[in-house]
Amino acid sequence: MNKLLSFAFLIMPFASFGQSDSTKPEQEKKAHWYDKIAIRGYMQVRYNRLLETNPLLKNEQGDKSWGENGGLFIRRMRLILYGQVHERVYIYIQPDIASSPSSNILHFAQLRDAYMDIGLDKNNEFRLRLGQSKVPFGFENMQSSQNRIPLDRNDALNSAVSNERDMAAFFYWAPSNVRKLYSRLVNDGLKGSGDYGVFGFGVYNGQTANKPELNNELHVVSRVTYPFRIGNQIIEPGVQAYTGKFVLPTDQLSAGVKYLKDRNYLDQRAAATFVLYPQPFGIQAEYNVGKGPEFNKLTDSIEVQDLSGGYITMSYLLKYKKQVIMPFFRAHVYNGGKKHELDARSHEVTEFESGIEWLPIKNFELVVMYTISERRFEDFKNQNNLQNGSLLRIQAQLNF
């Protein structure tokens, strides 16, 4: 009996020789690309009518529920699919299922981002981004609305690219250590912009997101920035510029307004950025200058004119147990046209905002902000329109 047992143990290792993997009791599962896809998102609900002094004060570029007939409003409802589906391929898809193209059309689904990043080296320090994505112009433009402190982006730089996005091909480069820092600045609640490289360069259609190309001439953009440490602080300066020709769409022209026959207008800007990340005191400032189409009421014409403007935001990061409290103040000015509005509407904006952001838990955020604003916005139909006033704004944000 002992000899039989010994023989059995001797031949057992060879019993499975030649068997297929399917007969193994335990086998490693093959990884599929869809196993690497994650989903996240956020929703913002606002009310802007408290302590309002002028219902005619509006901001078409930002929150369309400002002013008369504004009510409770879903500003954004974003779902984001993303993942490194291959060691050299990253995808990012973001629709907004509560988009509001105008003040009387609410809650439409619209594509925001849909792009792929192709790594050109094994560490993905060199990347090619193809698809609809944010144009690398302006730190606050690239900063997600989920992370930004003030409720709307500033007029000065945001008027460069409506909805911040366009169909594009961009090249980005950043060392691995900087890419990790960019991720930490967002994940740690330090209001980072995300990873748009230390150096970015590329081309885009120039007509802004979800709109077709109209002149067969691409815009060209470039950006250089670098975050570095001074003691416990992280500072990030940057410069960026773009140039191209913007075609005024016919549905954005009033009957009777004068404009160039081919509707092609010079569209170019340069901007400087300075960011001191809030540890605990923070500063974020940007200023841009350039040229673009703007309505001139003296000639009833849309002409290429100079533009300029910028902002400064100051904040202070407080942590109490697991709660985050961030008081802030922002001042911004802009003088120039907005090419994506009716008749390249002429604007002169001076605005001051102060408020507080409170995160009692990571999945819920509340912002209360008081705005004092003076806005002149004029087009062919409305040539003498200067509005000023103040309002208290409230936003509840769900993060998931």
Structure-token pair, residue 30: 């093959």
- The CATH code of the domain at 33-399 is 2.40.160.10
- What is the rounded distance in angstroms from the CA atom of residue 370 to the CA atom of residue 391? 6
Q: How far from each other are the two terminal CA atoms of the chain, in whole angstroms?
A: 65
Residue 149's pLDDT is: 96
**Contact in structure between 274 and 259 (CB atoms under 8 Å):** no
- Domain boundaries defined on the chain: 33-399
Residue 105's pLDDT is: 76
Residue 28's pLDDT is: 56
Per-residue pLDDT of 105-135, as tens digits, reads 788 899 999 999 999 999 999 999 999 999 9
**pTM of structure:** 0.89
Which of 329, 222, 316, 333 minimizes the C-alpha distance to 276? 316
Residue 9's pLDDT is: 41
Residue 210's pLDDT is: 94
Q: Which residues pair with 14 in a beta bridge?
A: none
* ∠ Cα 180 182 186 (to 5°): 115
Residue 13's pLDDT is: 44
**Contact in structure between 63 and 72 (CB atoms under 8 Å):** no
- Please identify every stretch of the chain with a pLDDT value under 50, giving residue numbers as ranges: 1-27
Residue 35's pLDDT is: 87
Residue 1's pLDDT is: 46
- What is the rounded distance in angstroms from the CA atom of residue 167 to the CA atom of residue 165? 7
